[in-house]
Structure 1
Amino acid sequence: MAMEIFSNSTSWAFFCFAAAILSAILLTHKRGHNKNKKKLPPGEMGLPWIGETMEFFKAQRKNRMFEEFVQPRMAKYGKIFKTRLMGSPTIIVNGAEANRFFLSNEFKLVISSWPTTSVQLMGSNSIMEKQGDQHRCLRGLIGNTLSSAGLEVLVPKICKSVELHLEKYWNNSIDRISLYHSTKVLTFTIVFECLLGIKVESGTFSTFERILDGVFAPPLAFPGSRFSKAKKARKEVEKMLVKIVWEKKKKMEEGREGGEEEGTLLSHLLGGMIRGEITEEEVIDNVVLLVFAAHDTTSFAIAMTFKMIAQHPDCHTLLLREHIEIMKQKTEGDILTLEDTRKMKYTWQVARESMRLFPPIFGSFRKAIVDIEFEGFIIPRGWKVLWTTHGTHYNEECFEDPLKFNPSRFEETIPPYVYIPFGGGPRLCAGYQLAKLNILIFVHYVVTRYDWSLIYPDEQITMDPLPFPSHGMPIKLSPKSRV
């Protein structure tokens, strides 16, 4: 009996051992198979939590994120690679196909992913945080303001703002002005007064500047920190906007709104609020976001356009000729129309080429909401994805001699997702048309009224985290005899 028990025990033990070995072999094979089928992109994750964040920020401060962070890793790993940034495992992707895949699959495979400080300051009810139907509703309200009919109304308003701004700040200057700072004040005024229909009061600009200064700051709320100052400014702005919203809402409900107030973006947002489509919080958060989205980025695009015009005299000659031809069709006192801006084809080529070389944004983060298979790799759910403008803008496969300034390249149609200074897909910048009008109209008034030159032709561009000219792009200025 003992021998039988030993024999049976031995047989059972052997069976268990054999089963364990077989299971291990099968599991190893399965894991290997899955690993081959669902392989992470190559790359280094760096130190725990920190990852390669320090290298990323170091390159960012010098405005050389692509040249010093992305390009060396592309050379080593290819167009798609993994890293760890600010505590999150991140896949960085480059190229038109990557742009198309991730930007067009917003809400399906990925969602927008902003830092916590940005969400707190811009507002959790802003369009940047909305998904699906909520995003489409808000985008529709904004789109109504920037339709063809809306743009027809906007153009004379922008012209008036530009003329008043030049009269106040440029005509009274002592032959020198900070172009970048000046355009920041102007674009802020245009968003507030022309787009939203809100009068800019004394101190409003500086209060918003404090908010924007903390949008990408570390989430440190101790007194005196950038984030703490920004949160305090946000409360001041919110208090001001609540008062404006309720006063304007009451006028609309009583049928007392009229004149230039009708058709503004704030009117469209409040109409949605009255109909129950959006909340008061959504109105306020989206006003704050729109000021942020249209403020620094448009100012930088204008500054870089003037930088390129100054550094390429032949470009200035052609551009001025275009604006003189437009002026010949107008009589004294006439202002520009939307049709006039459509004739500024070469000017827009210059602006587009300037934004290709100096994109207002480096790219943006998305978060995978499912496991994603792309180009033979797996991007796990919850990981971040960073797409970059430079990945195509500086790619010789997309643009011949990509570092050369050549506006004529935009005479031809550019394939989709190659040129992306305004993003793409469902989250294509909603204010794209407003930015375009700001640039074209401002260029028109400056080149036809002033002679100017850069004081620092080789001025460095820095980032914090958005790009800006390190000295504010000061220019020498003198009135031009009437062209």
Structure 2
Amino acid sequence: MDFYVACFLYLCLPLLFFVLRRKKHFAPRLPPGTRGWPILGETLEFMAAGRSGCPEKFVSDHTARYSPDVFRTNLYGEDMAVFCGASGNKFLFSGENKYVTPWWLHSMRKITHFPETLGNINSQDVKKKRSFLLEFLKPEALQHYIPIMDSMTRDHLATDWSPHKEVKVFPLSKSYTFALACRLFMNIKDPEIVSKLANPFAQVAPGFTAVPINIPGTPFNTAMRGGKVIRQELLNLIRRRKVEISEGKDANARDFLSRWLLEGDDDGTILYDMDASNKIMGLLIASHDTTSTSITVVVNYLAQFPHIYERVHQEQMEIAKSKGPDEFLNWNDIQKMKYSWNVACESMRLLPPAQGSFREAMADFTFAGYTIPKGWKTFWMVYSTHKNPKYFPEPEKFDPSRFEGNGPAPFTYVPFGGGPRMCPGKEYARLEILVFMHNLATKFKLEKVISNEKFIYIPSPVPVEGLLVHLLPY
């Protein structure tokens, strides 16, 4: 018996060797990297880099250790391939709906969505909503809002800046951009209603990328509670607005909410109202958090470099002199602000308002010789190009001339992403930033009170002391 067993094993060993070798031969070549700690992965290292004010360190350390094209990590409990450089950006941006599909952190969904709607999200519905949003935010539509932006900016500076010798820019920019978003997207003009939404809203953003531990005292728990309050307030607003529409009081409204309710396929269910609340909340987050950060970093560099500020002042004064005393800015005025926009772009290159975005692999695909398995998450980050000397010589130097002529090479400057999923609010942000710069530069001179004030990332760049500036009238 032992003889026959030995013969059988003798005959099977070559076959087993062949199978194992073949399996090894066809094993996917995954991107190099590490999954880090169990469950947490490298999430804490990633967050710590941002908290230290140097989020690009996470990318630079990993690209130096593993690969300049793509590396493996684990963030927020997900196997993740981080794409780097212009080629990585191009691949992900152009691979939308071919290789990858949008994906959001589960913590973000839980904070911003009613629990009842989380299982009802489908790709066709998402595409429809995005198409509606793109229509609302296209330049032709946004032109009508420039006078409102100009009027609200004037009022904001007159009320919250002019009476003071020193101001903290960051909290003021947050209140300004939130009030503007409430006006344009929901036609809310009452400061009390805006404040009622703003207070819990301030609790939400810090929890998006926090460790999703839902116990009292954690950033995620605080964000969950804030999100619940906002969703209910928005739901109440939606129900009131639907009554107004049914009574014919809102037929000519231009704000996003009214148009969504007027033109949407309302099936009369509570889920439809909840979904509308989810959409408005997402729009508020996207339009408020990143633009307030962008305005803050622009003011930071204007106050830091007087010669840059002087050129912006000259450009904006030329526009102001062409206007009547009560005449608001218009689309043609915005197109003349070329140097001012170069300054804004350089500000967002050095301190980008968003770190990047996530996708999910729809099927196995290959990039730079490595296989990204289906279901893995992908992540592109601005830091792999924005401060890379390969794309931007002397990357730490503030130089608006980088954006003259044809500007930076394609897929290297990506504060708004790129491809089919480029941020739909790019033009909205451009208008809001430039209108603010116009009113600021024609009224004040600025001096930083803390010359070397540090910015940390939670997840957008935030000045540690709120960016305190000294105001001098022009």
| Same fold at TM > 0.5 | yes
- Report the Cα offset of residue 131 of structure 1: 5.8
Q: Residue 429 of structure 1 corresponds to which residue in structure 2?
A: 423
C-alpha separation in 1, matches of 2:216 and 2:80: 32
Contact 1:361 1:421 in 2 (8 A): yes
- Report the Cα offset of residue 391 of structure 1: 0.8
C-alpha separation in 2, matches of 1:274 and 1:113: 25
Q: Which runs of structure 2 are paired with 1:7-26 in the superposition (5 Å)?
A: 10=3, 13=5, 16-26=8-18
Contact 2:239 2:273 in 1 (8 A): no
Contact 2:266 2:272 in 1 (8 A): no
- Report the Cα offset of residue 13 of structure 1: 4.5
For the pair 1:151 / 2:147, whether they are aligned, the reply is no
Greater alpha carbon shift after TM alignment, 408-417 vs 293-302:
408-417
Q: Which runs of structure 2 are paired with 1:349-368 in the superposition (5 Å)?
A: 349-368=342-361
C-alpha separation in 2, matches of 1:221 and 1:73: 30
Unaligned runs of 5+ in 1: 1-5
Greater alpha carbon shift after TM alignment, 218-227 vs 437-446:
218-227
Q: Residue 77 of structure 2 corresponds to which residue in structure 1?
A: 87
Q: Residue 278 of structure 2 corresponds to which residue in structure 1?
A: 285
- Report the Cα offset of residue 283 of structure 1: 1.2
Q: Which among 370, 384, 409 is matched to residue 363 of structure 2?
A: 370
C-alpha separation in 1, matches of 2:447 and 2:402: 26
Check 1:124–1:355 CA distance in 2 against 1; reply closer, same or farther (3 A cut).
Answer: farther
Q: Which among 65, 70, 78 is matched to residue 76 of structure 1?
A: 65
C-alpha separation in 2, matches of 1:328 and 1:269: 39
Contact 2:354 2:459 in 1 (8 A): no
Moved over 6 A (4+): 124-127
Letter in 1 for 2:434: L
Greater alpha carbon shift after TM alignment, 371-380 vs 218-227:
218-227
C-alpha separation in 2, matches of 1:219 and 1:83: 18
For the pair 1:39 / 2:29, whether they are aligned, the reply is yes
Q: Which among 248, 254, 269 is matched to residue 260 of structure 2?
A: 269
Contact 2:36 2:74 in 1 (8 A): yes
- Report the Cα offset of residue 406 of structure 1: 1.3
Contact 1:121 1:211 in 2 (8 A): yes
Contact 2:361 2:373 in 1 (8 A): yes
Q: Which runs of structure 2 are paired with 1:120-131 in the superposition (5 Å)?
A: 120-123=110-113
Q: Residue 236 of structure 1 corresponds to which residue in structure 2?
A: 229
Q: Which runs of structure 2 are paired with 1:16-415 in the superposition (5 Å)?
A: 16-35=8-27, 38-67=28-57, 69-79=58-68, 80-123=70-113, 132-173=123-164, 175-199=165-189, 200=191, 201=193, 202-258=195-251, 262-274=253-265, 279-413=272-406, 414-415=408-409
SS at match of 2:359: strand
Letter in 1 for 2:85: G
Letter in 2 for 1:286: K
Deviations 1:87-131 (A, max 9, x none): 32222220111112123323332233333221111116999x966
For the pair 1:452 / 2:446, whether they are aligned, the reply is yes
- Report the Cα offset of residue 258 of structure 1: 4.9
Deviations 1:435-459 (A, max 9, x none): 1111100010011011221111211
Letter in 1 for 2:458: D
Greater alpha carbon shift after TM alignment, 386-395 vs 398-407:
398-407
Check 1:21–1:387 CA distance in 2 against 1; reply closer, same or farther (3 A cut).
Answer: same
TM-score by length of 1: 0.89
Greater alpha carbon shift after TM alignment, 402-411 vs 180-189:
402-411
- Report the Cα offset of residue 276 of structure 1: 5.3
SS at match of 2:209: coil
- Report the Cα offset of residue 377 of structure 1: 0.5
C-alpha separation in 2, matches of 1:374 and 1:383: 13
Contact 1:89 1:383 in 2 (8 A): yes
Q: Residue 465 of structure 2 corresponds to which residue in structure 1?
A: 471
Greater alpha carbon shift after TM alignment, 333-342 vs 140-149:
140-149
Letter in 2 for 1:110: V
Contact 1:158 1:190 in 2 (8 A): yes
Check 1:424–1:135 CA distance in 2 against 1; reply closer, same or farther (3 A cut).
Answer: farther
Check 1:258–1:270 CA distance in 2 against 1; reply closer, same or farther (3 A cut).
Answer: closer
C-alpha separation in 2, matches of 1:53 and 1:210: 21
For the pair 1:438 / 2:432, whether they are aligned, the reply is yes
SS at match of 1:385: strand
Letter in 1 for 2:437: V
C-alpha separation in 1, matches of 2:265 and 2:364: 40
TM-score by length of 2: 0.91
Contact 1:372 1:380 in 2 (8 A): yes
Unaligned runs of 5+ in 2: none
- Report the Cα offset of residue 273 of structure 1: 3.0
Q: CA RMSD in A?
A: 2.4
C-alpha separation in 1, matches of 2:96 and 2:275: 21
Greater alpha carbon shift after TM alignment, 302-311 vs 160-169:
302-311
C-alpha separation in 2, matches of 1:271 and 1:426: 27
C-alpha separation in 1, matches of 2:439 and 2:140: 23
- Report the Cα offset of residue 290 of structure 1: 1.4
Check 1:42–1:221 CA distance in 2 against 1; reply closer, same or farther (3 A cut).
Answer: closer
Greater alpha carbon shift after TM alignment, 45-54 vs 92-101:
45-54
C-alpha separation in 2, matches of 1:102 and 1:437: 27
Q: Percent identity over the alignment?
A: 31
C-alpha separation in 1, matches of 2:62 and 2:105: 24
Larger Rg: 1
Deviations 1:354-393 (A, max 9, x none): 1111111122222223222111111122222221101111
SS at match of 1:81: strand
Letter in 1 for 2:427: Q
C-alpha separation in 2, matches of 1:244 and 1:190: 17
Check 1:397–1:289 CA distance in 2 against 1; reply closer, same or farther (3 A cut).
Answer: same
Q: Residue 3 of structure 1 corresponds to which residue in structure 2?
A: none
Letter in 1 for 2:169: L
C-alpha separation in 1, matches of 2:217 and 2:31: 42
- Report the Cα offset of residue 176 of structure 1: 0.8
C-alpha separation in 2, matches of 1:105 and 1:424: 11
Check 1:123–1:275 CA distance in 2 against 1; reply closer, same or farther (3 A cut).
Answer: closer
C-alpha separation in 1, matches of 2:235 and 2:437: 35
Task: Give the aligned length.
Answer: 465
C-alpha separation in 2, matches of 1:383 and 1:53: 16
Greater alpha carbon shift after TM alignment, 315-324 vs 178-187:
315-324
